């Protein structure tokens, strides 16, 4: 196992990962509230934590990964009424579609994907424990609140002090709370299909308690990594810590990892702004790997701003990698089982370079840079004549490239299938029929066969003007697309 260093929001420092159980990482990430289909913003956290999990496994750790579904929420209740469905029917439908969305962008299912509605006994048990040890109180109205003041280190994750938090509302206590800072663990409610009997009457859990209860059920009272979007640090994660540590009398998660936030053309993504893209619609246009590439070009903790140029850039970068991989596969045909690498080449170096980047707070930016460097070096093999050593070297490059890309969830398709699909889409967006390109290439082949090189050059120029670049190889002419950004 490799030493891994990660930035811990709780300490504000980069720390070495020390797991509670040797070799086994227990990790929890807050999942989505299932009232609507997943958009590309939901994909952000899902992709980053998928890669973190993959890398931990690549570094020889066993990983137990829990990602929950929040399936009890006001938004779900309202949406199910609008659609004339029960909350459970709506939730089942959205979870199924979310599973398809995640699969389409290469995000693996977590080890456990618990739902709030199926974790009610654990939630009630934790609320009861908190009441028992004085950290919570039930009110006459049938609500239960967490007594924030009682937790001396409340605010340690988000670096807030209680008095600052209370601010101007010091003397105004709303509803049946003892203190305005107190938050709900259990809310009185009798909505059909979204409420349960409890020692405090019929109701449903507050949002924060669900993650405390579900993480404990699958990972124990203390575990290694807790993740989520940065917008969850306060109050959600702060409250999870407060509840879990008070109920379990031990530290909660050791390392807190937070992913950045997404904007589209520097604006928050929202339906009303019309810049809202569902995952389902994105993958109609591009293979899901393009979205992964678009995210992985940034560090997981950075904020990301998506523009059309980012997607095109990511698509082009992937096209380059796939075309290079396809070329390596061709060169590797008939590679001997064992041979020396060509002088000046050592393809497995990529694996070590990849580890060096990823073990430092999961630097996908650095990892992609190493991949591109390795591919550039591998592309030198295209020059000169064939040899057993060259075939062996090409094969090793392709293997190393596939091994590390697997961790990122990239280069998982057959190169030909990816290239064709992307090419078709780019031509469509450039408004060029593929038949026209193929026809021009055929005319050029015929002109050259008839030794009419002037005509051949003219046709090549016509293709270049369209953005089509030709490569004449012994096996015939291959082509690729120079996809220019609108902004140049
Ligand atoms: Zn949570």
| Domains defined for the chain, CATH in brackets | 5-273 (3.40.50.620), 286-417 (1.10.730.10), 432-481 (no CATH)
Q: Which residues contact residue 75 at a Cβ distance below 8 angstroms, ignoring those fewer than 6 apart?
A: 33, 35, 36
Average pLDDT of the segment spanning 77-95: 94
Percent of the residues in the chain that have a pLDDT greater than 70, as a whole number: 97
pLDDT for residue 471: 87
pLDDT for residue 484: 63
How far does the centroid of ligand 1 lie from the alpha carbon of residue 184, in Å? 15
How far does the centroid of ligand 1 lie from the alpha carbon of residue 196, in Å? 21
Pick the range with the lowest mean pLDDT from 14-23, 72-81, 215-224.
Answer: 72-81
The C-alpha atoms of residue 100 and residue 2 are separated, in whole angstroms, by: 33
pLDDT for residue 167: 57
Which has more pLDDT, 476 or 291? Answer: 291
Q: Is the pLDDT of residue 165 over 90?
A: no
Q: Is the pLDDT of residue 172 over 80?
A: no
How far does the centroid of ligand 1 lie from the alpha carbon of residue 264, in Å? 25
Q: Is 401 helix (H, G, I), strand (E, B) or coil?
A: helix
Average pLDDT of the segment spanning 352-359: 98
How far does the centroid of ligand 1 lie from the alpha carbon of residue 212, in Å? 7
How far does the centroid of ligand 1 lie from the alpha carbon of residue 216, in Å? 12
Q: Is the pLDDT of residue 480 over 80?
A: yes
Give the residue from 317, 324, 315, 287 showing the smallest Cα distance to 413.
287
How far does the centroid of ligand 1 lie from the alpha carbon of residue 208, in Å? 6
Q: Is the pLDDT of residue 486 over 80?
A: no
pLDDT for residue 487: 43
How far does the centroid of ligand 1 lie from the alpha carbon of residue 123, in Å? 13
pLDDT digits (tens, 9 = 90+) for 370-380: 999 999 999 99
Average pLDDT of the segment spanning 128-143: 97
Pick the range with the lowest mean pLDDT from 103-107, 227-231, 270-274.
Answer: 270-274
How far does the centroid of ligand 1 lie from the alpha carbon of residue 103, in Å? 22
pTM, whole model, 2 decimals? 0.94
How far does the centroid of ligand 1 lie from the alpha carbon of residue 66, in Å? 11
Average pLDDT of the segment spanning 249-271: 95
Q: Can the peptide bond before residue 133 be classed as cis, meaning omega within 30 degrees of 0?
A: no
How far does the centroid of ligand 1 lie from the alpha carbon of residue 238, in Å? 10
How far does the centroid of ligand 1 lie from the alpha carbon of residue 377, in Å? 44
How far does the centroid of ligand 1 lie from the alpha carbon of residue 338, in Å? 51
pLDDT for residue 475: 79
Average pLDDT of the residues of the chain: 94
How far does the centroid of ligand 1 lie from the alpha carbon of residue 29, in Å? 7
Average pLDDT of the segment spanning 282-287: 96
How far does the centroid of ligand 1 lie from the alpha carbon of residue 452, in Å? 69
How far does the centroid of ligand 1 lie from the alpha carbon of residue 49, in Å? 14
How far does the centroid of ligand 1 lie from the alpha carbon of residue 206, in Å? 11
């Amino acid at each position: 196992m490799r030493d891994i260093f990660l930035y811990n929001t709780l300490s504000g420092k980069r720390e070495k990962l020390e797991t509670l159980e040797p070799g086994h990482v227990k990790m929890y990430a807050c999942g989505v509230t299932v009232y609507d289909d997943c958009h590309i913003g939901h994909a952000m956290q899902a992709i980053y934590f998928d890669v973190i999990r993959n890398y931990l496994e690549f570094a020889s750790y066993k990983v137990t990964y829990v990602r929950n579904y929040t399936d009890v929420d006001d938004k779900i209740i309202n949406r199910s009424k609008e659609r004339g469905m029960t909350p459970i029917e709506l939730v089942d439908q959205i979870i199924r579609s979310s599973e398809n969305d995640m699969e389409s962008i290469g995000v693996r299912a977590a080890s456990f994907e618990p739902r709030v509605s199926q974790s009610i006994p654990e939630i009630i048990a934790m609320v009861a424990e908190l009441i028992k040890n004085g950290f919570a109180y039930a009110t006459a109205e049938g609500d239960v609140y967490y007594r924030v003041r009682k937790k001396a280190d409340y605010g340690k994750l988000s670096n807030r002090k209680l008095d600052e938090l209370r601010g101007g509302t010091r003397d105004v206590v709303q509803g049946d709370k003892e203190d305005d800072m107190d938050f709900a663990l259990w809310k009185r409610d009798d909505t059909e299909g979204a409420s349960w009997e409890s020692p405090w009457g019929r109701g449903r859990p507050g949002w924060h308690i669900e993650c405390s209860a579900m993480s404990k059920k699958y990972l124990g009272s203390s575990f290694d990594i807790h993740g989520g979007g940065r917008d969850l640090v306060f109050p959600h994660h702060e409250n999870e810590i407060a509840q879990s540590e008070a109920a379990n009398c031990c530290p909660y998660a050791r390392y807190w990892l937070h992913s950045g936030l997404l904007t589209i053309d520097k604006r928050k993504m929202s339906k009303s702004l019309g810049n809202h893209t569902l995952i389902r619609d994105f993958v109609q246009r591009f293979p899901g790997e393009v979205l992964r590439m678009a995210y992985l070009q940034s560090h997981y903790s950075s904020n990301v701003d998506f523009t059309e140029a980012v997607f095109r850039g990511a698509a082009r970068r992937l096209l380059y990698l796939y075309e290079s991989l396809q070329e390596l596969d061709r060169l590797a045909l008939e590679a001997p089982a064992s041979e020396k690498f060509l002088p000046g080449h050592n393809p497995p170096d990529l694996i070590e370079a990849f580890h060096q980047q990823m073990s430092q707070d999961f630097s996908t930016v650095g990892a992609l840079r190493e991949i591109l460097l390795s591919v550039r070096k591998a592309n030198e093999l295209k020059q000169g004549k064939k040899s057993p050593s060259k075939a062996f070297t090409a094969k090793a490059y392709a293997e190393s490239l596939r091994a590390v890309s697997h961790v990122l969830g990239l280069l998982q398709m057959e190169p030909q299938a990816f290239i064709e699909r992307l090419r078709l889409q780019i031509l469509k967006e450039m408004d060029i029929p593929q038949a026209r390109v193929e026809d021009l290439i055929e005319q050029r082949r015929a002109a050259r066969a008839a030794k009419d090189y002037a005509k051949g050059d003219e046709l090549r120029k016509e293709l270049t003007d369209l953005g089509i670049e030709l490569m004449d190889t012994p096996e015939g002419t291959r082509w690729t697309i120079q996809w220019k950004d609108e902004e140049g």
